[in-house]
Amino acid sequence: MKEQVELSKGIDWLMVWFYLILVSIGILSIYSVEYHQGDSFFRGAMAFQKNYSKQILFLGIGLILAVFILLTDSKFFTATANLSYLIGVLLILLTFVIGKDIKGSRSWIPMGFFNLQPAEACKIFAALALAKYLSRPETDFEKPKSQLLAAGIALFPAVLSILQNETGLALVYFSFMIPMYREGLPGVYLVVGFSIVVLVIATLLVEKNLLAVILTAIAAIAIYILRRPIKKKKGILFLIIALWALSVGIQRFAVPYVFTNVFKPYQVERIMSTFGVDHEPAVNVKDMTPEEKAEYEAQKKKKKPKENYNVKQSKIAIGSGGVWGKGFLKGTQTQGDFVPEQHTDFIFTSIGENFGFAGSTAVVILYVLFMLRIVQVAERQRSRFSRVYAYSVAAILFFHVTINICMTVGLAPVIGITLPLLSYGGSSLLTFTIMIFILIRLDADRQMILR
């Protein structure tokens, strides 16, 4: 009894309340998407045939797992971090053999009443493995070798996700750069990464010859400004020339290759529409299967609007909510099933239409407060393992929330990223539940040095 009292004292109940409030909002939002006049919430919940009732079931399973996690010794997570990462990677590889194809992505393993997405769950294992590696006494994170190994741990599942056509989920793994930066990753890496993103966007928006001229002019100006240091160190000149060659290579060859051979035509269209570019993507028709070729030709004949249909309907739904919303279960766009995938990727539109700008802002504030609380929890850890893991959780939440909300309002391409704890889905809800409660458990032992 005494041990249970001590355990409850160590739990950060504020994080638990944030979790429960957000999940409750999610269940109500999913219910509003499925609601038809005369439906009973409790009758539907007991039947377990509606998505919101299944989400309640997933919540129940999640809470049972949460209790087990809270009763587990914190040392268990450090001891099994590398093993769990290996299992996670093997599960992703298993999808290439027995995976179920859903919406063009072979990244799911059928589990009876729900489908498991290993790449989603592997975020937990990658966070634990990264924390384990960075907390080792022999890891000198100032050395490039250690930085590369840490990046490899974080990004290897992302590579596998891309091979599964899960480019959106792969993007989330780049969130691990935030905890790595907190632990001493030089800021120059983030600057280089941001510069590459800007270069890719410029490649999409600016004519290729003009952009090559601009890059050459920038290199020439840099050489002129640094002419005196260059006289003393010729290596600076070689560095500028190498960066110029790399930049031109990216805009001339790398970006066109990726958009032609890696991304699917619909993904290219989504990205282009985000930047307001009416573009017919270059497609390698030879490598297509007969079914893909027929689908592509059909889409080509059809005049498509500049914006993706999903995003257009999403904007209409959010905009129709006004300041205060139409009221719970009174949204015309929601009730009319105008927004595709509204219970999953576009769940935020339900909040926007039902509760308006005020309700949407309140949900965003809830997320911000939750993430700030996680950062506070991270900074009070004595153990580097716990701190790295906490920052990983905050970073993953930040990427998911930011990309999903930007996606629903047309500021980011539709890449299939869920809104944490709100979107329908067993894999997503259970992943975030486990991830958050592992953090709560580690925080309960924050005075302990874990490695």
Check pLDDT > 60 for residue 203.
yes
Looking at every residue in the chain, the average pLDDT score rounds to 81
d(CA 115, CA 44): 22
pLDDT average, residue stretch 1-17? 70
Q: Which range, 265-274, 286-295, 406-415, is most confident?
A: 406-415
Residue 164: pLDDT band with limits 50, 70, 90: confident
Check pLDDT > 50 for residue 136.
yes
Check pLDDT > 90 for residue 144.
no
Contacts of 399 (CB under 8 A, 6+ apart): 171, 172, 174, 175, 417
Q: Which range, 221-230, 345-354, 389-398, 414-423, is most confident?
A: 389-398
Residue-wise pLDDT tens digits, 71-81: 988 889 999 99
Residue 301: pLDDT band with limits 50, 70, 90: low
Which H helix or E strand runs over 107? strand 105-110
pLDDT score, position 303: 44
Residue-wise pLDDT tens digits, 206-234: 778 888 888 888 888 988 888 788 887 87
Check pLDDT > 70 for residue 448.
no
d(CA 119, CA 88): 8
Judge contact between 336 and 350, C-beta under 8 A: no
Residue 115, burial from CB neighbour count under 10 angstroms (0-12, 13-18, 19+): middle
Residue 349: pLDDT band with limits 50, 70, 90: confident
> Given the DSSP bridges, would you call strands 105-110 and 100-102 parallel, antiparallel or unpaired?
antiparallel
d(CA 6, CA 2): 6
Residue 290: pLDDT band with limits 50, 70, 90: low
* % of the chain surpassing 70 pLDDT: 80
349, amino acid identity: T
pLDDT score, position 446: 77
Judge contact between 413 and 270, C-beta under 8 A: yes
Q: Find tokens 């006049």 and name the residue.
A: 37
Check pLDDT > 70 for residue 297.
no
Q: Which two tokens stand for residue 149?
A: 């190994």
Q: Which two tokens stand for residue 143?
A: 């050395």
pLDDT score, position 17: 95
Q: Which neighbouring-strand residues pair with 109?
A: 116
Check pLDDT > 70 for residue 134.
yes
d(CA 361, CA 359): 5
Dihedral in degrees, nearest 10, Cα atoms 386, 390, 391, 396: 140
The reported pTM is: 0.80
DSSP 245-314: HHHHHIIIIIHHHIIIIIS-HHHHHHHHHHTT--------GGGS-HHHHHHHHHHHHSPPPSS-HHHHHH
Check pLDDT > 80 for residue 25.
yes
